[in-house]
Structures are given as structure tokens and as C-alpha cells.
Structure 1
Amino acid sequence: MFQIKARDGMGRMGKLEIKGKVIETPTIMPVIHPNPEKQLVPMEKVKKLADVVITNSYIIYSNPELRKIAEEEGVHKLIGFDKVVVTDSGSFQLSVYGDIDVEPLEIVEFQERIGVDVGTILDIPTPPYAEREVAERDMEETIRRGREALELKRSKNFSMLLNGTIQGSTYMDLRRRCAEIMGSMDFDIYPIGAVVPLLEKYHYKTLVDVIINSKMGLPTNKPVHLFGCGHPTLFALAVLLGCDLFDSAAYALYAKDDRYLTEYGTYYLEDLKDLKQFPCSCPVCSEYSPKEVYNMEKRERERLLAEHNLYVTFEEISRVKEAIREGALWELVELRCRCHPRLLEAYRQALKYVEFIEKFDPVTKKSGFFYGGYESLFRPEVIRHKERLHRIRYEKIFITTVSKDVEKPYSENLNIPPTDVDILVKDDVFGLIPLNIDLIYPLLQSEIPELYDVEKEHNKQFVKEFMERYRDKIMDIVTYNYYLSYYSSKKKKINRDVIRIDRMLQYQYGFKILDEEIMERIIVRRSKRTGWIRNVFLVEGDEKKLLFTLRSYDNFLIPTEEGAKLLHRKIPYPKYRVVVDRSVERFAREGRSVYAKFVVDCDRDLRPYEEVLVVNEDDELLGYGTTILNGRELMEFNYGVAVDMRKGIRG
């Protein structure tokens, strides 16, 4: 069972329960040799770092001595690890040698017999760039074996979970088709297979295509394992694209070649030997100098290098998790992808899929938007803003520029006369920023350096298209100034702050929430400390009812009970709704979290972390809160929290 606890991009920090044992994702599974004499890093040290490891069931099966121990005492006892043990089925050996002497169902049954926690089908790993006929034939055989393995598992009531590997070589339609078919079979975890040759040849751009096309066809409620990916430089990008699990033999294989892993590249020990100390503070690097390690006997040198490589691998995984928690994974990816030109190329390829990625990217983050280069112009935050600009119902528009000397937010630092004209400021990154919404994430919560001229050119076409779309509503400077003069002398005054709240609600929810009658009864309270808007009230007689509070870190309008009722009246069904089963209606009204398995319908266009209305099947308002999942995930997940409730509404 898998649930999401935090997220950024398509990356998910989750909790995966396997046979009563819990692991936190994303994580790395060190590859453990089933023969203890050949295991380079002692298991005592592996245990301190890893909650899950992977070993090879085919090697165990093929070695009479190892097989005997595993069948009598179990795989956990064999390798000396009492947490989660995953096994490969021999597919790697199949890819290297072309044939292995075990039947597909036989190796699946063997994995269950030795007490494996997660087993793997014997898939056919088609190498990249194989002939299409070969790739399609191998994929069909993998699907057939997967179906038979699941039937065996169910008929014999196996306790182990089962990996259903996605194949298809470098034919993206085959990857999607394989993912869709395997995804419909309800495997427990979905590895993406046969990518090691791409990694070895630095074909990261193609790797991105393989990952995303596989993700497009896979169910969202299952973890994805990127088979064979173990270098720290790749983790951030792979997690951003939705990979949850990795396995690493690299920590040991690189050590045998005297290679030293870092999160930004690989070094040969010989090139480091003249340094006073290693560029790392792990236990190995803190105790030994490069020259000391270089002069050691080969076996000891390999062991210490492997230990360092394992430490730095887990350190990067921890760094990725923290970036997800902070909402800064995109920034980490932009940093890592500048470690190698092929990684930067891969990141740019990923951004070509931004329309797909945007559906999973949270609408708000605790960390601001940090511009990391030209690629940042294509991030989901920017693309989403440009799309949501069209949610606002403009009547009169004036487009202008603002001096770089004016600090954000422009709306608070410019002397703007009261007006109902929507003033839009040209922006090098976000294209256009309406002053009425410039407090809201990511517009205010962004750090952008002075851009090169080529970067400044990027949004000219967007601005041109926007002006063409709204040409009947755009004022030139003369008309705008004349209208301001008329407005100040003739027009009924409307509080400028009320207009801003109206536009912010349209931008956030996509509908006109405040009609003219309500706008006349809206009052706004500003913070005594910052002077910025903090609360929105509705006046009813002698009473002021709090509708919304502007959240401090992103200035999203967070509804109160009265605000939720207003949204429910003004937003048509099913928009911004999560519909729950009647069996949990009472719990929703009590303000308890909504669990995914009780969601029966929803607005399919929802994005993670949006403020939503929780209703029953008759659209009666039960409460309101923040959705952890997007619209597709709400319909696919059956475990974990779906909506973090703010408050229930009694019937």
C-alpha cells in the first residue's frame, strides 16, 4: 500500500507498506550479492542506511549452496538483512547471456518459497534501439509472463508483492502500451526496465522519454522503480519525473574501478590522491585522506570506496526528499542538470512534457520560485500562470511596464489611482502580471536575476497573442488616462482592495465568486505589521463574517466556513469538488481527513494542494480542505489521505 505525504513536480515523498514493513520513498535499494563473501560493504553498515535492499534470485537459484540456505532459512537470513528484501528474477543475466536455465513461473515460485518481500517477473529486457519487430515481440512476451505470474500468485495465495516490469525498448508507443496493459493487471510495483544501456551511454534524453511515456500509461497509485539507476546525479531528475525507487550496484562496481562518486559527477581516485582531503564528510572521507586510500591494498581500497559511494548515494536521496518537502525539487534539478551537458539536454527534453507534468505539480509551494536559467521559463509554475490569466473576466485592460527599481509587490509599492481597469505589467518570466493578483504564488514569491536579452525576448510572442485575444478590451495610454480622469470624477467608488480580492478569487478558482451586490458588502482588513491584505469579511447588518484569510507564504485565499459556503453556491458542480461515499459523510462533517478509498468522484482538473469543497453525491457541502492528490489520483488511489480537511460543516 502506497500513499503520498509530500510532493513537487511529479516527485512524491511517500510511505510504502510491504508485508507490515514501512519504507519511505523515494529511496535507493543497494544491490546485495547473495554470497556474503562477495558482498563488498558489510551488511552491518548497509543496515544503518537502507530500509530495503535488492538481491538476485537467479544467482541464489543457480548456486546449490546458496539455494539450500535460502530454501531452509529464508533469503533474509541468507544475506543478513531483516528489513524489506526485493529480488530480481534473472532478467539482467538474460540481457547479458541471452538465455538462462529457469522457467518464468519457476523463478516466481522460487522467490515466494525463499520468503522474498517483493519478487519480480522474468521479463524480456529488450536493449535500446532494437528492431521494432523484436521490441514488440519481447514486450508481448513480457506481458504474457506477467499475466501468468499474477495468476500463479493469486491461485497459490502468495504473500510476496510482485513487480511488473515495463518494456518496449526505445519505442515510446510500445512503452505506453506496455504500461497501460501491465498497469491494468494490478501489479504492486512497476519497474521501468532495460534502461542501463542508456545510462552507460549517457543517453539521458532518451531515458526521459522512456520514463515519461511509461508514467503516462501507469496507474498513479503504485510506486515506480527505475531499474539499474544508481548514480546520485540522476536521482533528482528521475524523482521529478515520478520515479520512487532506485537500485544501485554502482556503489560497488565503481569502487572496483577506483571510481569515487559524488552528487555532481564521478572521479578516479588517482586524480584525487594529491588532495589534502576528500570533498566529502562521510565517515570514510573524514577518517582517511585520498593518498591513504590510494596506497591501500586493493580489497581494502575497494571496500572503503564502496562505503563512501553508498554514503553519498543515500545522502543525495535525503537531499531529494528534503527538496520535495520544501517545494524546491525543481531548483535542485536545475542545479544537478548543470553537472553535465547530457543531463541539461535531458532536463530540456523533460520540459517538452510540461503539459503532462503540470497536472501533478502542486499549485503552491512553501519555497519560492527561483530562476535557474532559460529552462525555468518552461516550468509548470510559469505555464500554469499563463493559462490561469484567462480565468479572469477582464472588462478593461491597460498593459504597461514597471521600472526595475520598483520592488515587488508592485501593487503595494506603486501609487495607483483607484480604478476598475485591470493593469497588467509586462514581465520577462511570467509574461504578464496583473497588479490585482501580484501577491499570489508564484508571482510575488519569486527570485529572478537580471536576464540576458535573449531571455527577455521569450515572452514577446505570448504578450502579442494575449493582446490580440483581448484587443477589444485593451486601452492605449491616452484612453487609459482619460478613463482615470472620468472614473475619479464620475464613477461610483469601489474599494480597490475589493476588486483585487475579486480578481484573485477568479484566478484561484476560475469562476466569478463576488457579484456586484456582494462586492458592495466586502471589507478588507490589512496586517498592522506589513500593511498587506490579510482578511476578507462580508458585512451582514451589524455583523462581519470572515470569508477568507490570505495565507502568509503564498497569499492564497483560504476559506472559512462562510467562505466555503459562498464558493459552493458560486462554483458549479463538479468543479473544485471531491465527492465522498455516504458511509463517511458523518466523518467529513466532523472535519476528519478524507481517505482516498472513500472518494467516489471529483473535479478531474484538480491539481495537488488546491483548496476544495468536500460534498456528498447530492452535492451537499460536508466540509472543505486541501487536496493532496490531483483529479486523476483521487480516482485511482485507494490508500492514504486524499483531502486534508480544514473544517467539517454540520448538516
Structure 2
Amino acid sequence: MTEDALKYEVLASDGAARRGRLHTAHGTAETPAFMTVGTAGTVKGLLPENVADTGAEIVLGNTYHLMLRPTAERIAELGGLHKFMNWNKPILTDSGGYQVMSLSELRKITEEGVAFRSHLDGSRHNLTPERAMDIQCLLDSNITMVLDECTPYPAEPDVAADSMRRSMRWAQRCKDAFIKRPGYGLFGIVQGSVYPDLRQESAEALQEIGFDGYAVGGLAVGEGQEVMFEVLDATMPHLTRERPRYLMGVGKPSDIVGAVQRGIDMFDCVLPTRSGRTGQGFTRRGPINIRNARHQADPRPIDPDCGCKTCSSYSRAYVHHLVKANEMLGPILLTIHNLHYYQELMAGLRDAIEKGELDAFVSAFHRQQAAGDLPPL
């Protein structure tokens, strides 16, 4: 790794799982890490201080949304995304490829890039590999993601191969356009749908180009956990140990635990924040729906073993009342709890790997999750 790149170190391992540390120009992140999603430069409903209090060390921004509003150029004029959103820790920005690909009739993919119409006002835009690098540089994100084509699922092998190989050509263009700076890095994205041979080809192509980290994309798109783990089993042996590995858009707590066992270091997902806004809370005994009437007179916290602000200060009955009354504080309290739960899960995984006790941790995790929620009082 060059002096201009991010620095990543593996501190311990347990089987395929790794305990590491990622150093950036805006601080370090301990891995395995869950990266909180702040799509439009904000984690919905929370102040940056609230996000940091959950244990989060790195957040995500989204190229597609920020390029449209308020524009990357405006954010750059105002000092970059860290200053704009008052977050002085590391930021990763995805390239916007997933969002653009989901526009269906509003976009057209060519070798040059993606032409699309804004979902906001119908204005025309072109997102090329070079433009994706330019935008993320303007945003001043510590980790830049290459522009890739998120292959739809399911896809026939020839369709998946064509899509993956286009992404590899775009990855080379991204590497050529990326401006190296100390403490900043560029991640390549492995594609290939559910086909092991394509995943291997993609991983090897990316490593031939050379990136500061490698992401596995195109999963958690409907294939199911068993297939996702099979793809990881086929992919991970072809990714170098010396670079961080990021599983994009994943996921559920059990997805994360299984992926860590397979050697993934970094995760992101909207699930804990989106669930918080819809009444779902994550606990050591599995998820609960706070809207259910069984919680309306329950004086216990969402999770009695949780030390977050919500669980230390508020009852299930109160959060139930807030959610049923459509008070904004309800989703805020649930979001704080959910993010704290995810960060505690990651801390537990890191500790287990350091001690060589990951198998025991995973067994206890699944046993607790299967136990179900606390019985009614």
C-alpha cells in the first residue's frame, strides 16, 4: 500500500474472520464495522452527536442524491461533506450506481456510463466513471466507490457476464481518474451475480487493477441468505488479505454475523434506521414490533441488556405510545436503540475474534435470537 492510500491492518484473526483497523485522514474505524447510512448527508432523525454516541465511527453518503441536491459543487464550496453535515469522522460515499440502475425507464446504460433523468425534477444527467470520481472528490469522502452496474437478480449467465465485465472496464477508468491523497482510498466492487466463476473473474480483474479495498456488490437483492453465503464462500478466497473487504447493503444481524465468519470487514444497511422509523426494534432476543398492544403497558426497556439512551431512560410503553400517536420522538428513540444494538453487535464480534472465541459468540447469538422476545408481564 502506498503512502497516499488508506492504511488497513489486520490485528487478529479467528478462522476466516478478521479483526482490523482502518486509518483515514479523518480518523480510524475498528473492523468488523457497521457503517451507518446517511444518504443525503444526514442519518434520518438524528444529530451527528447522537450517531457518534451509538458507537458509529464511519457513515455513508450517497453520490446520486447529493449530486442532484444540493450538488457536489455546492458542498465543496461549503467546505466538503464532513463540514457540511458536521461529522468529523470517516465518510464513505457510494458511487450512485445502485440508485441510478433502479430508475428503470428513466435511465440508459452505455459503455460511456449511465444517462438518466432525475427523480426530483426530470432533469437530464450523465454519470460516467470519471464523473463519479469527480463528485466524490468534491464531497471529500475518505472512501470512494467505483461506478459499477448493479446486475439485476435473477440474471442469466451471459447477462451477468456482460454486466460484470462492463463494471470491470468502468473500474479501470475510475482508477485512472481517481486523485490520490493521503488518508483517502478507492474501493473496487466485485460483481458477477450468483455465478462463482464470474465472481472469481471479477475479483481477479479488480486486483489486477489494484484498489485500496474491495467490496462485494450485487447481493442482498432477493437471492436469500443461503445463496448470499454461497457467493461469499466462492468469492472471499480470491480477495487479498491485506485489504479491507466490504459487503454492500447488508444487512440483518444474522447476515452480518455469517459474513464476518467468512472474512467480511465492513457493512452498511438502511435496516436499523428504516426499521426504527416503522416501529421495529432489534434486540438480543430478536426483533420486536413496538406497535403491538403487548407493549402498551410494559415498563421494561426495549432490551434490558442494552445500555443505549433509549433503553436507560424510556420504557416500551412510552415508545409504543409515541409511535401509535405518530410523535416523531418515537422513531428517533427506536433509531438510536437500533444503531446502538448494531454497534454493540460489531463490538462483540471484534472482541470474540481477538479472543479466538468467535464460534462460541456465534452460537450464543443464534441461541438468543431463537429464544424470542421477553414473555409478557
For normalisation by structure 1, the TM-score amounts to: 0.49
Please give the residue correspondences for 1:28-39 in structure 2 after superposition, counting only pairs within 5 Å.
Answer: 28-36=34-42, 39=44
Aligned with 1:299 (options 324, 328, 335) = 328
Query: In structure 1, what is the Cα distance between the partners aligned to 2:146 and 2:155?
Result: 22
Amino acid paired to 1:334: S
- Partner residue in 2 for 1:144: 169
Query: In structure 2, what is the Cα distance between the partners aligned to 1:158 and 1:310?
Result: 31
Query: In structure 2, what is the Cα distance between the partners aligned to 1:65 and 1:146?
Result: 23
State whether residues 9 and 330 of structure 1, in contact with CA within 8 Å, keep that contact through their aligned partners in structure 2: no
Instruction: State the SS of the aligned residue for 2:186.
Output: strand
- Partner residue in 1 for 2:295: 273
Deviations 1:500-522 (A, max 9, x none): xxxxxxxxxxxxxxxxxxxxxxx
Aligned residue pairs, count: 335
State whether residues 232 and 312 of structure 1, in contact with CA within 8 Å, keep that contact through their aligned partners in structure 2: no
- Partner residue in 2 for 1:284: 310
Instruction: State the SS of the aligned residue for 1:236.
Output: helix
Cα 1:218–1:255 shift into 2, 3 Å = same
Amino acid paired to 2:295: K
Query: In structure 1, what is the Cα distance between the partners aligned to 2:284 and 2:150?
Result: 28
State whether residues 235 and 320 of structure 1, in contact with CA within 8 Å, keep that contact through their aligned partners in structure 2: no
Aligned with 2:361 (options 332, 338, 342) = 332
Deviation of 1:270 after TM superposition, in Å, equals 2.2
Deviations 1:79-137 (A, max 9, x none): 21111111011122134213343222101111112211111111111133211111111
Query: Given the alignment of the two structures, is residue 187 of structure 1 paired with residue 216 of structure 2, yes or no?
Result: no
- Partner residue in 2 for 1:133: 158
Query: In structure 2, what is the Cα distance between the partners aligned to 1:217 and 1:338?
Result: 32
Query: In structure 1, what is the Cα distance between the partners aligned to 2:59 and 2:345?
Result: 17
Instruction: State the SS of the aligned residue for 1:265.
Output: coil
- Partner residue in 1 for 2:349: 320
Deviation of 1:66 after TM superposition, in Å, equals 6.6
Aligned with 2:58 (options 47, 52, 55) = 52
Instruction: State the SS of the aligned residue for 1:169.
Output: coil
Aligned with 1:43 (options 48, 52, 73) = 48
Query: In structure 2, what is the Cα distance between the partners aligned to 1:35 and 1:151?
Result: 27
- Partner residue in 2 for 1:310: 339
Instruction: State the SS of the aligned residue for 1:295.
Output: helix
Amino acid paired to 1:267: I
Deviation of 1:54 after TM superposition, in Å, equals 0.9
Please give the residue correspondences for 1:494-573 in structure 2 after superposition, counting only pairs within 5 Å.
Answer: none
Deviation of 1:289 after TM superposition, in Å, equals 1.2
Query: In structure 2, what is the Cα distance between the partners aligned to 1:71 and 1:132?
Result: 45
Query: In structure 1, what is the Cα distance between the partners aligned to 2:61 and 2:177?
Result: 22
Instruction: State the SS of the aligned residue for 1:86.
Output: strand
Query: In structure 2, what is the Cα distance between the partners aligned to 1:185 and 1:218?
Result: 13
Aligned with 1:107 (options 110, 126, 132) = 132
Deviations 1:46-77 (A, max 9, x none): 12322211110221111146751344310111
Amino acid paired to 2:276: A
Deviations 1:332-384 (A, max 9, x none): 2233345779xxxxxxxxxxxxxxxxxxxxxxxxxxxxxxxxxxxxxxxxxxx
Query: In structure 1, what is the Cα distance between the partners aligned to 2:219 and 2:238?
Result: 17
State whether residues 352 and 361 of structure 2, in contact with CA within 8 Å, keep that contact through their aligned partners in structure 1: yes
Instruction: State the SS of the aligned residue for 1:184.
Output: helix
- Partner residue in 2 for 1:76: 82
State whether residues 3 and 15 of structure 1, in contact with CA within 8 Å, keep that contact through their aligned partners in structure 2: yes
Query: In structure 2, what is the Cα distance between the partners aligned to 1:71 and 1:196?
Result: 36
Amino acid paired to 1:305: L
Deviation of 1:319 after TM superposition, in Å, equals 0.8
State whether residues 284 and 303 of structure 2, in contact with CA within 8 Å, keep that contact through their aligned partners in structure 1: no
Query: In structure 2, what is the Cα distance between the partners aligned to 1:30 and 1:294?
Result: 24
Query: In structure 2, what is the Cα distance between the partners aligned to 1:92 and 1:293?
Result: 34
Instruction: State the SS of the aligned residue for 1:92.
Output: helix
Deviation of 1:279 after TM superposition, in Å, equals 2.5
Query: In structure 2, what is the Cα distance between the partners aligned to 1:142 and 1:65?
Result: 25
Deviations 1:446-498 (A, max 9, x none): xxxxxxxxxxxxxxxxxxxxxxxxxxxxxxxxxxxxxxxxxxxxxxxxxxxxx
The answer for unaligned runs of 5 or more in structure 2 is 1-6, 108-115, 117-124, 371-377
Query: Given the alignment of the two structures, is residue 117 of structure 1 paired with residue 149 of structure 2, yes or no?
Result: no
Query: In structure 2, what is the Cα distance between the partners aligned to 1:9 and 1:127?
Result: 32
Please give the residue correspondences for 1:149-548 in structure 2 after superposition, counting only pairs within 5 Å.
Answer: 149-153=174-178, 156-157=179-180, 160-198=184-222, 203-271=224-292, 273-274=295-296, 275-277=298-300, 278-280=302-304, 281=306, 282-296=308-322, 297-337=326-366
Q: Give the root-mean-square deviation of aligned CA atoms.
A: 2.1
Amino acid paired to 1:60: L
Query: In structure 1, what is the Cα distance between the partners aligned to 2:229 and 2:348?
Result: 21
- Partner residue in 2 for 1:446: none
Instruction: State the SS of the aligned residue for 1:68.
Output: helix
Highest Rg: 1 or 2?
1
Cα 1:67–1:306 shift into 2, 3 Å = farther
Give the % identical residues.
Answer: 27
The answer for unaligned runs of 5 or more in structure 1 is 342-651
State whether residues 41 and 81 of structure 2, in contact with CA within 8 Å, keep that contact through their aligned partners in structure 1: no
Deviations 1:10-56 (A, max 9, x none): 111112222363221111110013254x7222211112322211110
Deviations 1:209-263 (A, max 9, x none): 1112221211111110011113323322211100001113212111122111124
Query: In structure 1, what is the Cα distance between the partners aligned to 2:295 and 2:49?
Result: 28
Instruction: State the SS of the aligned residue for 1:319.
Output: helix
Deviation of 1:176 after TM superposition, in Å, equals 1.3
Cα 1:340–1:308 shift into 2, 3 Å = closer
Query: In structure 2, what is the Cα distance between the partners aligned to 1:29 and 1:147?
Result: 26
Cα 1:184–1:334 shift into 2, 3 Å = farther
Instruction: State the SS of the aligned residue for 1:28.
Output: strand
State whether residues 29 and 58 of structure 2, in contact with CA within 8 Å, keep that contact through their aligned partners in structure 1: yes
- Partner residue in 2 for 1:27: 33
State whether residues 34 and 79 of structure 1, in contact with CA within 8 Å, keep that contact through their aligned partners in structure 2: no
Amino acid paired to 2:44: Q
Cα 1:73–1:295 shift into 2, 3 Å = same
State whether residues 220 and 228 of structure 2, in contact with CA within 8 Å, keep that contact through their aligned partners in structure 1: no
Cα 1:82–1:172 shift into 2, 3 Å = same
- Partner residue in 1 for 2:92: 86
